[in-house]
Structure 1
Amino acid sequence: MEKTWLITGVSSGLGRLLVEKALFRGDRVVGASRSEGTLADLQSRYPQRLSIVAMDLKDQRSVRAGVDRAFAASPRIDIVVSNAGYGLLGAAEEASDAQVRDIIATNLIGAITLMQATLPHLRNQGGGRILQVSSEGGQIAYPAFSLYHATKWGIEGFVESVAQETAPFGIEFSLIEPGPARTAFGGNLAQAEPLAVYEGTPADGIRQAARGSWVIKGDPDRMTDAMIRLADQEGPLPKRLVLGADAYAGIRKALLCRIEELDRQKDVAIAADFTEEELARL
């Protein structure tokens, strides 16, 4: 059965691959990009099934207008993929004020605005699915990526909450958590100006690894295949889809460590409450 997708971040990487695969199997796609000339090659091959709407995630009015145009052009959009975003490499204090504002505006506020804008349309059509591309970095953290992690941890909390709010309307969410993949993501990293004091620290180690020694195992082709299978599967959708062996191992280790730490604090946590006897007297 033909589906219609709205996908952001389609100029390269996972976004472009999703567009190509959706079109190849006969689906319709509305791609969102800062330039309507994006994917001109695909538009010439699929003029009836691919359209592009201009959308700048740092401009909330642009996001809302783009979403409205997408839904006006399509009788129904089944799957929304919030995919646009980028990384910022550098220790927290190295980042400029503008770099902080820009990554939060794009990765977090832009994604939130996209979902705010799509929800009324999905609700009015009786439901739909939103796949939010997060990262393994939405559950674990590396030094030198603190601001990127702030946006990914933030969007994960937002999605978990909104999924509960909108479930009665037939709207489903899933967080996509890929590990490092062989896309242009690494080459497009924004760079904070290094401070000499961080030489030889964990942040510097990550910076050096990102320049070439980091072995990237993730296959974008396999990752996008998994995303399409997820979009097609019977509900309910899983809250998260982890993609990549390193992502699986890293997230599992982090979750086990958090549970162990939580369990060690059990008595302290319980002791912070009023007792039943005290509550009865209040």
Structure 2
Amino acid sequence: MQRTWLISGISSGFGRSMAEQLLAVGDRVAGTVRSLSSVEDLQRRYTDQLWVTELNLDEMGSIREVVDSAFSAMGKIDVVVSNAGYGLFGAAEEATDEQVVHQIHTNLLGSIQLVRCALPHLRIAGGGRIIQLSTVGGQAAFPGASLYHASKWGIEGFIDSLSREIEVFNIGCTLVEPGGARTQFRYGSSRIGPRLPAYDVSPASMARQMIEAGTAVPPGDPEKMVARIIESASQIPAPKRLVLGTDAYTAMHQQLAQRLAELELQRDQASSTDA
């Protein structure tokens, strides 16, 4: 059965791979990009299946118009994939104020608005699926990624709460939490703040060194990861989280277990403040 997808950020990475896999099997895709020239080849190959428009998620005022136009053009959209985003790395103090604002606007506020704007369409249609791209960094934290974590932990809290608000409308939500993948994310779209030499002795410097060296090869196969994401859209009920990659599973398991152990130690203290 042919499905229709709205996917933000189809010019590269997971978004591009997802669009290619879906179009190849006959599904329809409404995609957003920052520049239409980045997907000219797809537009030529899939004239009748692909609708594309430009969108920058940090421009909040244009998101509703774009989403409304996508639903109008496609008639019905079954799955909304909030994929666009990037990573800002380095110590929190190293980032400029402008970089901080742009990171939060793009990854958090832009993603929230994209989903919010799609909700009335899905609700009126009687259901649908929302897939939000997060990261292992949405559940596990590492030095040198504090601002990226802020955006992803924020979007995870939003989706977790939202899923309970809208399940009554037959709309399911899934958070995708991939580990390192061989896409352009790490060495192409990622950004780092101006270097502060004081942080050379901090663990935060490791993130900068990794990105500047550009030699470490992430373990994840992006094509396989995307295939698992596409498959998740058919699962009923929608999986709350989709962990992709042994590195993601290991890091999340370790840090969640540590957080639970620390919580257990505070059982008596917590109850001591009850009336």
Which residue is 1:250 aligned to?
251
1:131-280 matches, cutoff 5 A: 131-187=131-187, 188-210=189-211, 211-212=213-214, 214-233=216-235, 235-274=236-275
AA at the equivalent of 1:240: R
Which residue is 1:278 aligned to?
none
Work out whether 1:10 is the aligned partner of 2:14.
no
Residue 36 of structure 2 aligns to a residue whose secondary structure is: coil
Residue 172 of structure 2 aligns to a residue whose secondary structure is: strand
Alpha-carbon distance between aligned partners in 1 of 2:6 and 2:190, rounded to the nearest angstrom: 25
Which residue is 1:77 aligned to?
77
Which residue is 1:280 aligned to?
none
Alpha-carbon distance between aligned partners in 2 of 1:13 and 1:189, rounded to the nearest angstrom: 12
Residue 94 of structure 1 aligns to a residue whose secondary structure is: coil
Residue 199 of structure 1 aligns to a residue whose secondary structure is: helix
Which residue is 2:105 aligned to?
105
Work out whether 1:119 is the aligned partner of 2:119.
yes
Task: Look at both structures and tell me which one has the larger radius of gyration over its CA atoms.
Answer: 1
Unaligned 5+ runs, structure 2: none
Q: What is the TM-score with the length of structure 1 in the denominator?
A: 0.95
Residue 108 of structure 1 aligns to a residue whose secondary structure is: helix
With over 3 angstroms needed to count, the CA separation of the structure-2 counterparts of 1:227 and 1:193, relative to structure 1, is same
Are 1:88 and 1:103, in contact at CA under 8 Å, matched by a contact in 2?
Answer: yes
- Per-residue CA deviations over 1:112-142 (Å, capped at 9, x if unaligned) read 0001100000001111000000000000111
AA at the equivalent of 2:229: M
- Per-residue CA deviations over 1:135-193 (Å, capped at 9, x if unaligned) read 00000111111000000000000000111111111111000001111100012211101
Q: What is the TM-score with the length of structure 2 in the denominator?
A: 0.97
Alpha-carbon distance between aligned partners in 2 of 1:194 and 1:54, rounded to the nearest angstrom: 33
Q: Which moved more, 1:154-163 or 1:207-216?
A: 207-216
Alpha-carbon distance between aligned partners in 2 of 1:205 and 1:56, rounded to the nearest angstrom: 30
What is the root-mean-square deviation of aligned Cα atoms in Å?
A: 1.0
Alpha-carbon distance between aligned partners in 2 of 1:243 and 1:63, rounded to the nearest angstrom: 29
Are 1:38 and 1:52, in contact at CA under 8 Å, matched by a contact in 2?
Answer: no
- The runs of at least 4 aligned residues of structure 1 exceeding 2 Å deviation read 34-38, 209-215
Alpha-carbon distance between aligned partners in 2 of 1:183 and 1:245, rounded to the nearest angstrom: 17
Are 2:178 and 2:243, in contact at CA under 8 Å, matched by a contact in 1?
Answer: yes
AA at the equivalent of 2:231: R
Alignment length (residue pairs): 273
Alpha-carbon distance between aligned partners in 1 of 2:34 and 2:118, rounded to the nearest angstrom: 18
